[in-house]
Homo-oligomer: A and B are copies of this chain.
């Protein structure tokens, strides 16, 4: 795809080459995220960070990514119903707001709303999550993390062995990740969930059509023995009829250091889309894993900044200019 001026709405719009381009640019952003230098390439540009549903970390991550490229951020932080209550269409909202900025990140509770907004926008729109529908930057940062972790261990996305664990029925991130994995080859995928929370058939088919070997399981320990990645997820309580119904499944698959040591390969990487549910009744990933160097959950959120910087740089077509506007960093930090 041509990135300059494009909307980023769905992972379905990417081919494998597009993903590789995003990841290559994300790699180039690392010196800036590590504060080895700063860049002014987007000095004067404005991000409209339009969050019509609260999501602190996604919002802040997008905002920081834009700041790290030298740009300014204007934003909304939650429900803004006034104009809509007065009968305004999403078309009008988009026409107006797109007059204020150079690119828009939008989150909205309604599935499809971001695409509808984008069709009326005069500037590129990046989907920051539209309800149960899509959250493309989360899927990208997950796959980018997998690639980075596996590469550091001499592996590659093609041939990956992965266990996806937890609420595979309602978890938006595992669906999106499955769709992205279908762009790669020869994966071995184990889907571990309660029967009632199994991955929907259409995603499994997609993975099999891509030539991957897909196994389905209801048990944790046999499934995590020969994998490169354990991708754990929480029970999506808000999608169940009641807390009680969610409680039936919560805590079914718990990984801790003892289980890890006993069953996993020494270098198996542990991931989670966060937030992880650390309450005693859930505790998907025990905190005794926090010192395990293979726990990659915070590298995932760090990588989110890189992926978002890459998307901004691509959509605003400044990839080749970032370094030209680089500056020294003056302040104390322990990152780089």
Contact = CB atoms under 8 A, between A and B. Distances in A.
Nearest to A48: B60
A83 B237 CA distance: 12
Nearest to A317: B332
Given A55-B82, A329-B44, A334-B122, A278 B88 contact: yes
Contacts of A206: none
Contacts of A325: 330
Interface in A88-117: 88-89, 91-92, 95-97, 99-102
Contacts of A276: 87-88, 92
A163 interface: no
Interface stretch (A73-81, A193-201, A216-224): A73-81
B74 A60 contact: yes
Q: How many copies does the complex hold?
A: 3
A18 interface: no
A83 to B, nearest CB: 4
Given A44-B329, A92-B274, A92-B278, A237 B316 contact: no
A95 B298 contact: yes
A61 to B, nearest CB: 6
B87 A277 contact: yes
A335 to B, nearest CB: 8
A45 B302 contact: no
A262 interface: no
A325 to B, nearest CB: 7
Contacts of A275: 83, 86-88, 92
B64 A101 contact: yes
Contact of A43 (B38, B45, B278, B302): B38
A202 interface: no
Interface in A302-336: 302, 305, 315-318, 321, 325, 327, 329-335
A298 to B, nearest CB: 5
The 5 A-B residue pairs whose C-beta atoms are closest, nearest first, are A38-B44, A87-B277, A88-B275, A317-B332, A316-B331
Interface of A: 4-5, 35, 38-46, 48, 54-57, 60-61, 63-64, 67-68, 70, 72-74, 76-77, 80, 82-83, 86-89, 91-92, 95-97, 99-102, 122-123, 234, 237, 274-279, 282, 287, 290, 297-298, 301-302, 305, 315-318, 321, 325, 327, 329-335
Nearest to A5: B332
A161 B4 CA distance: 44
B305 A99 contact: yes
B100 A61 contact: yes
A331 B96 CA distance: 21
Contact of A57 (B64, B83, B274, B279): B83
